[in-house]
């Protein structure tokens, strides 16, 4: 055990090994950047003169099922931090357990919601037990990376923006103890926006703040409540996130420069959130809900200009759709369907070793004997396509709670294909983020009963079964929706980064060589999906599109994405999310 003197906050500036330091940080999330590009992104950070990498740690990816941990490959946190060390960067870890990050449920695993009484981010026993087991594993991974052990981690954040939540005064001391009792002896920090700084804080834990503008006095407020301590902006918001159906947010460099220059001139430490945004691949985007539910897009904040040279990109030739498989024909490849009198939400389905379904789609089927009005009573989370005898008759979502079903004779099958569009990642409603059908659906005021429920989380095993099924039909039919559409991309030479454009398609998800690139939706603002070169191979590549409502016969590529209509972040009313 070495006797290195770590980061200290005992005066108006930080010291490291007794020498004064100013932290010039940037956030890059390893889970939002293909592993093959970690080094490239960190080199760019170094080239910009930054000295510290900050990253969140997403619990829901590292423990996808209770007691099953994954710190390998794309999630190899230890390798990521060691790579930063090799480049001479310090590291500030932000392990949560809650991270916000515009990430599904703020990084908390959805299996926590199986307990109907759960109180997330409190000392509720069920939550405490889960956090303890996770921290047992997590700290065993990160402890060798601490500065005092010879690693680059100079500070660890305790939870995240708890001052804005503040449901339980014993909770933050519990998380602090979780870290210290397992041998984390580096400087501990909290980070809060302006409203959250009112929270009392803890002995021996440095407060930092999160902001985008200096006009609100947050830094002066921090100095007043924490005299003779170093000042740090843990999140200087250098970008902003987008939600489906609204404009793309842009943040002009000149607006940014004025603020950053002033912060640096005053000797304040800073972390750019984000330095490089990356992509919320798969189904991992979060959502916001301040009275209206708004799911976030697949791309994460577009940010600083890339220096040195960006990766070479390529606009490949269009890929022609060669085969399709309807959703109904794909049901053989799901796990065994579950039968239940009443609808069951995703998280409580007996799938994935009884950890429930976390992400994707769930299909609910029952029989009806009449037409009439379907009432969702806002129990659809978040969006359902409604079918009678496999013909689409409309949709239900958080805005539309009623739908007229056509009349017909005899028994007919009513199907609801429900998509989890992303759980809210910020605010007081985290405990209420169950997805699927969360209560009764009424037909002519009578609750529907007798459901068969299919889990369509589209995990790699399911996709493999689908690909190898021999059930694909070779004539293209745009009417074969919802369904899976397959084409092949031939790459000659070394694969390059590219962007997929689904012009003429409606809403769905794209898989390339089994990797889930994320969601697309014609309403924008995002119309392109990032396809990293390292996920392609020379020769043949398989592209599968799951499309809900409107397919085209080809997939287009571009070297650069177009973000559609934009809105300047500085013209927005001031918002304290992120």
Nearest to 285 by CA among 274, 271, 301, 272: 301
Q: How many CB atoms lie within 10 A of CB 466?
A: 22
Could you write out the DSSP letters of every residue in 404-436? EEPP-SS-EEEEEEEE----B-SSTTGGG---E
Residue 471, both tokens: 């059930």
What number of H helices and E strands is found in the chain? Answer: 9, 35
Report how far apart, in Å, the C-alpha atoms of 570 and of each of 64, 199, 257, 418 are.
38, 27, 13, 36
Backbone angles phi, psi at 552, to 5 degrees: -115, 170
179, 156 in Cβ contact below 8 A?
Answer: yes
Residues that are catalytic: 161, 235
Alpha-carbon gap, residue 272 to 28, rounded angstroms: 9
Q: Which residues contact 517 (CB under 8 A, 6 or more apart)?
A: 279, 281, 282, 298, 500, 509, 510, 511, 529, 530, 531
Name residue 414's beta-bridge partners: 366, 388
Q: What is the rounded end-to-end Cα distance, in angstroms, of the chain?
A: 38
| Degrees, nearest 5: CA angle 242-245-249 | 30
| Degrees, nearest 5: CA angle 39-300-380 | 135
Q: Where are the alpha helices (DSSP H) in 74-190?
A: 77-86, 125-142, 171-180
Name residue, tokens 């003429």.
504
User: Virtual CA dihedral for 118, 139, 274, 5, nearest 10 degrees?
Assistant: 140
Q: Which residues contact 476 (CB under 8 A, 6 or more apart)?
A: 321, 322, 324, 485, 553
406, 269 in Cβ contact below 8 A?
Answer: no
Report how far apart, in Å, the C-alpha atoms of 390 and of each of 331, 446, 452 are.
13, 22, 15
Nearest to 236 by CA among 204, 196, 266, 191: 191
| Degrees, nearest 5: CA angle 87-89-95 | 125
Q: What is the DSSP letter of 402?
A: E
Nearest to 244 by CA among 398, 376, 347, 98: 398
Rg of the Cα trace of the chain? Answer: 24
Alpha-carbon gap, residue 146 to 143, rounded angstroms: 6
Q: Are strands 19-21 and 14-16 parallel, antiparallel or unpaired?
A: antiparallel
Name residue 361's beta-bridge partners: 419, 456
313, 496 in Cβ contact below 8 A?
Answer: yes
């Amino acid at each position: 055990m070495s006797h290195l003197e770590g980061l200290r906050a005992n005066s108006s500036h930080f010291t490291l090994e007794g020498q004064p330091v100013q932290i010039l940080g940037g956030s890059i999330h390893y889970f939002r950047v293909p592993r093959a590009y970690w080094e490239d992104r960190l080199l760019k950070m170094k080239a910009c003169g930054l000295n510290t990498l900050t990253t969140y740690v997403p619990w829901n990816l590292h423990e996808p099922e209770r007691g099953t941990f994954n710190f390998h490959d794309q999630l190899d946190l230890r390798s990521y931090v060691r790579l930063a060390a090799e480049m001479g960067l310090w590291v500030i870890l932000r392990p949560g357990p809650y991270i916000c990050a515009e990430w599904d449920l703020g990084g908390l695993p959805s299996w926590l919601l199986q307990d109907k009484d759960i109180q997330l981010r409190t000392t509720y026993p069920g939550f405490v037990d889960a956090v303890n087991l996770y921290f047992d594993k997590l700290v065993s991974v990160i402890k060798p990376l601490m500065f005092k052990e010879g690693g680059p981690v100079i500070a660890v954040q305790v939870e995240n923006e708890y001052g804005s939540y503040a449901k339980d005064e014993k909770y933050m001391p519990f998380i602090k103890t979780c870290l210290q009792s397992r041998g984390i002896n580096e400087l501990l920090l909290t980070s809060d926006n302006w409203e959250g700084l009112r929270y009392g804080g803890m002995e021996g834990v440095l407060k930092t703040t999160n902001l985008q503008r200096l006009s609100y006095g947050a830094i002066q407020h921090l100095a007043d409540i924490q005299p003779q301590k170093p000042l740090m902006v843990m999140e200087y918001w250098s970008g902003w996130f987008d939600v489906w159906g609204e404009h793309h947010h842009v943040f002009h460099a000149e607006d940014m420069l004025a603020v950053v220059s002033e912060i640096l001139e005053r000797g304040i430490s800073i972390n750019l959130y984000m330095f490089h945004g990356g992509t919320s691949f798969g189904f991992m985007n979060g959502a916001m809900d301040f009275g209206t539910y708004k799911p976030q897009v697949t791309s994460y904040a577009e940010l600083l200009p890339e220096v040195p040279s960006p990766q070479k990109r390529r606009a490949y030739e269009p890929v022609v759709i060669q085969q399709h498989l309807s959703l109904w024909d794909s049901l053989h490849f799901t796990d065994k369907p579950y039968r239940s009198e009443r609808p069951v939400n995703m998280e409580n389905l007996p799938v994935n070793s009884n950890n429930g379904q976390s992400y994707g789609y769930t299909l609910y089927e029952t029989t009806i004997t009449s037409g009439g009005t379907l009432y969702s009573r806002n129990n659809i989370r978040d969006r359902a396509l409604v079918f009678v005898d496999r013909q689409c008759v409309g949709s239900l979502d958080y805005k539309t709670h009623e739908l007229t079903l056509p009349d017909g004779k005899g028994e007919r099958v009513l199907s609801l294909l429900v998509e989890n569009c992303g759980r809210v990642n910020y605010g007081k409603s985290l405990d209420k983020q169950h997805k699927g059908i969360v209560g009764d659906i009424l037909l002519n005021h009578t609750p529907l009963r007798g459901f068969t429920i299919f889990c369509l989380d589209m995990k790699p095993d399911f996709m493999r079964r689908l690909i190898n099924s021999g059930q694909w039909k070779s004539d293209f039919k745009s009417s074969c929706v919802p369904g899976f559409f397959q084409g092949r991309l031939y790459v000659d030479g070394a694969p390059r980064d590219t962007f997929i454009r689904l012009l003429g398609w409606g809403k769905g998800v794209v898989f390339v060589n089994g990797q889930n690139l994320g969601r697309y939706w014609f309403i924008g603002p995002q119309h392109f999906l990032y396809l990293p070169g390292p996920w392609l191979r020379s020769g043949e590549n398989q592209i599968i599109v799951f499309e809900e409502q409107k397919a085209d016969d080809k997939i287009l590529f571009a070297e650069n994405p177009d973000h559609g209509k934009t809105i300047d972040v500085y013209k927005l009313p001031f918002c304290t999310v992120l």
